[in-house]
Amino acid sequence: MRHCPFSILAILALATACQKQASEPELSAEEVAAQLASVKVDPGQWESTTRILSSTGPLPKQVLDKMVGQETRAANCITPEQAARPNANFLAAQQGSDCTYQDFRMQNGKLSGRMTCTGGQLPGKMRTTMSGDYGPRNYDMVMDMETAGLPGGATMRIKARTEGRRVGNCG
């Protein structure tokens, strides 16, 4: 959450690896940056809450059940420079993440797309499908994350909702 108000840090930390289908065209960093160039985000102090809506996977049922409903809150100061020039890693949850985007759109208050990330604290690849609404002072998005290739060939799926809003000036 260092680069923007869109916080998926908690979710990316929960997932570990996934497979990407080779037939998907990837968008270049320039294509993603062009989408983000039209995004207007008000600089200032932002807060976000990420809530896990569902989880399935190789963990014991009571662990999966305990994950549902968990919330992670984050705060971030968005500088005027960051608000004016979001880059291709705008939605990356952590520094050092290398993300590629497929079918990414962020226009007219609507966000949708798919993102595959590696690096950072991720030991492999994770596939995220996201959709939602955004404005200069708030956003609301749902993310479906799939992690495949876990020990024993297991797959883990997590669905989460992240809501964020500008709460004031940085202080």
Two tokens at 141? 């998005």
pLDDT in tens, the chain (171 residues): 333 333 332 233 333 223 333 345 677 666 776 767 777 889 999 999 999 999 998 889 999 999 999 999 999 888 898 888 765 555 544 455 567 788 878 888 998 989 887 665 655 568 889 999 988 999 999 999 887 766 777 788 999 999 999 999 998
User: Within 13 Å of residue 95, how many CA atoms lie on the same side as its CB?
Assistant: 2
Ramachandran category for residue 121: left, alpha or beta (phi over 0 → left; psi -120 to 50 → alpha): alpha
